[in-house]
Amino acid sequence: MAHYYFENPLSIDDDFMTIRTRFAPSPTGYLHIGGVRTALFNWLLAKQAGGQFILRIDDTDTRRNLEDTLQPILDGFSWLGLDWDEGPEVGGPHTPYFQSQRLEHYQTAAKRLLASGHAYRDYSSPEEMAAERETAEKEKRDFVYSRTWMAETDEQAAEFESQGRSFVVRLKMPREGKCEFRDVVRGDVSFDWGRESDHVIQRGDGTCLYHLANVVDDHDFEVTHVVRAVEHLSNTPRQVFILQSLGYEMPQYAHVPFVAEPGSKNKLSKRKIDQYLNNKEFKRLYQSGAEIAKRIGVEADPYSFNPVLVDFYRDIGFLPDAVLNYLVLLGWSLDDKTENFSREEMLEHFSADRIVRSEASFDCQKLLSFQASYMNALPLKQKTKMCLGFLQKADLVSDPVACEQGDVISQIVEAAGDRICMAGDILKFDTFFIADEDMEFEDKPFQKRMVKPENAGFLLAEFNKVLNAADSFDAPSLEAELHGFCEAQGVGVGDIIHALRVAVTGKAAGFGMFDTLAILGRQRSCNRIQIALDELAKRVEANQ
RNA sequence: GGCCCCUUCGUCUAGUGGUCUAGGACUCCGGCCUUUCACGCCGGCAACACGGGUUCGAGUCCCGUAGGGGUCACCA
C-alpha cells in the first residue's frame, strides 16, 4: 500500500484508512439471496482493500430462539465462503456483536442525546400520537409532532408523571434546513429536515430501537462504509442526525438497489413464494430442487426451501462460486463484456461506483447458466465427490463408499458430463444403482422403441449374444461391436440403439450408449436386455 | 397521498454529445454436429418509456408527462 503515498500524496488519509464494512442480518432463520448480494458487496469492498468485514446480529427485537434462527445464516455465509473478520463465532475487538447484548451502549448514547438536548422525553400516549397523525393526514399536510408532551426539564417530566404518564425517548429533529450527504451509489442526496418526524429511540421499558443501535454500533465497530439496500436511504437522515449529535464521524454511504422479483420490479420477498411459483423458470428451478430434496430427505416446503433462500442452492448441489458470480453481476458490471469472475477477479475489479442505480430482477435462468458452466469446469474428482454426497444421502450408495464403487461413480459422473448441472442431478441417473429387476421402463419410449419396431426384439436378442461373447467391455470396443453387428445384419445403428437404450436404462434419453454399457458391465447389461426382452414378449402377448 | 428514487432487447447489462445502422450475456428461434438427451459451434429475433427543448448533432444534457418502485412504526 505504501506506493500510494508516493503516487498520490494528496490522499494519504484515504489510502491508509482501513476499510471496515458490515452486514447486519436479523436472525430470521434463513439467508435471503438479496441479502447475500448486499453482503457480497460489503465483503468485496472490505477485502479488496485489506480491510475487515464484520457480521453484526441485529436482534434488538427478536424473541425467537437465537440458536435456531442465527445458525442457518452463519451456515449460509460459510458455505458461500464469505468469511467475516469479526462477529459471531470469531469474536473480535468489539465483542459482543449482538445488539441484544449491547443495550447499555445504546442507553448511554440515549442519555447523552438527552443531555445535549438532541432528544427529549415524550409523555404522549400512543392514542394521542395517532390522533395528531390522523389530523395531519386529514389536513393533507406532513405530520409533525406538536411536542405537546415533550419534557425537556425534570419539572416538566415530574408534572407529566404526576398525570400517570410514562415516557419514551424521541429525537428532537431539526425543523428546518436540509440533510445533505454524498452516497457512493446515488451521488449527492438531500432531504428536508422538516419532514423528518421525532423518531423514538428508546422505549418506555428502556430498550432501544434500531436506528440508535445501528448508529452506535457502526461507530463503536469503526465501520467506515455502510453498504446497504436502498430501502434504508430514507432512514438515513435520522441516522445522520443521531451520529452528528453524538459527534461521530459520518461513514461513507452506499445504498444499493434491492433485488427484485422475477419478472417485476417489486422487492424480492420470501413471503411471496406462491406468486413466484407462477413464474415459469422460478417454478422449474423450484421443482427440480424439490425433487432432489425429496430424495435426500430434506424437507421441501416451498416456504422454507425455495430459490429465494441460499440453503436451497447448497442443498441441491450448486457451487458457491457460481452463485456469487451471478450475484455480483446483479446490479454491477465491470464493462460491456466480462461475465466470468472468480473470487480473486471480483476482488480485483469490484468498485462501488459501478453499482447500478436501478433495481435488478432475479433471473433463475441466468443463475442456472452460471451454475452449468462452473459445474462443467469443475475437475472430475471434485464433481464426483459432490455427487457422491447426494448418492449417499439418497441411500443409493453406502457411506463410506466401497472402493471399486467409487471408481464406477467417477465413471458415471464423467460419462454424464454436463448433464449434471447441479450435483443433485446425479440422482437422475440412479438407474446404475438400481438392481436390474427393480428397473422400470418408461412407458412411452418402451412402446416407441421396443414394441413398435418389428425387428427390435430380434435385433436386441441377437446383439445380446454378441455382448455376451464380446472380448472386452470398454466403450470403444463396444462401439466397434455394434457397428460390426449392424453391418452384418444389414441395418443402421439407429435401428437398434434406441431399443438398446430403453432396454438397458428404461429411459429414452441418457448419456453415451457405449459408456452406459461399459459402466453397467457385461453381466448387468445382458441381464437387463433379457429382462426387457421378457417384458416385450409379455406386452406383445397382452396386445394379441 | 407526501417525500425520495428508478426507466436501454423478455431478463442482467455496456453506453459520460459524434464510427450507436446501440455492443455483450441469459432466454427464445433456426442450422450444424450427433445413436438419444445434453454440451459445443454458427446464425437469427429483440431495446434507448413518451413529449418538448438545448445543440450542427442526443440513448447520452435540461424540463415536463407517464409508468414502476421505495419509504412514511414504541419492526429491522
pLDDT in tens, A164-177: 999 999 999 999 89
Asked if strand B contacts A99 at the CB level, meaning under 7 A, the answer is yes
What global pTM score does this model have?
Answer: 0.93
Long-range contacts of A288-297 (CB under 8 A, 24+ apart): A288/A316, A288/A422, A288/A425, A289/A315, A289/A316, A289/A424, A291/A427, A292/A316, A292/A317, A292/A390, A292/A422, A292/A424, A292/A425, A292/A427, A295/A393, A295/A394, A295/A424, A295/A427, A296/A390, A296/A393, A296/A394, A296/A424, A296/A427, A297/A393
Instruction: State the pLDDT confidence band at A330, using cuts at 50, 70 and 90.
Output: very high
% pLDDT > 70, chain A: 96
Instruction: State the pLDDT confidence band at A63, using cuts at 50, 70 and 90.
Output: low
ipTM higher than the 0.90 cut: yes
From the candidates A178, A267, A270, A272, give the one annotated as an active-site residue: A270
pLDDT of residue A526 exceeding 90: yes
Q: What is the model's pLDDT at position A514?
A: 96
pLDDT of residue A142 exceeding 60: yes
Q: What is the model's pLDDT at position A283?
A: 93
% pLDDT > 90, chain A: 83
Average pLDDT of chain A, as a whole number: 92
Instruction: State the pLDDT confidence band at A17, using cuts at 50, 70 and 90.
Output: confident
Q: What is the model's pLDDT at position A11?
A: 34
Q: Which helix (H) or strand (E) holds A363?
A: none
In whole angstroms, B73 C1' to A115 CA is: 25
Three cell numbers written together for A325: 458470480
Higher-confidence residue of A544 and A280: namely A280
Q: Which nucleotide is nearest to A267 (CA to C1')?
A: B69
Q: What is the model's pLDDT at position A136?
A: 86
pLDDT, one tens digit per residue, over A392-433 is: 999 999 989 888 889 999 999 999 999 999 999 999 999 999
Asked if strand B contacts A206 at the CB level, meaning under 7 A, the answer is no
Instruction: State the pLDDT confidence band at A64, using cuts at 50, 70 and 90.
Output: low
In whole angstroms, B38 C1' to A476 CA is: 21
Instruction: State the pLDDT confidence band at A248, using cuts at 50, 70 and 90.
Output: very high
pLDDT, one tens digit per residue, over A457-479 is: 999 999 999 999 999 999 999 99
Q: Which nucleotide is nearest to A508 (CA to C1')?
A: B36
pLDDT, one tens digit per residue, over A297-317 is: 999 899 999 999 999 999 999
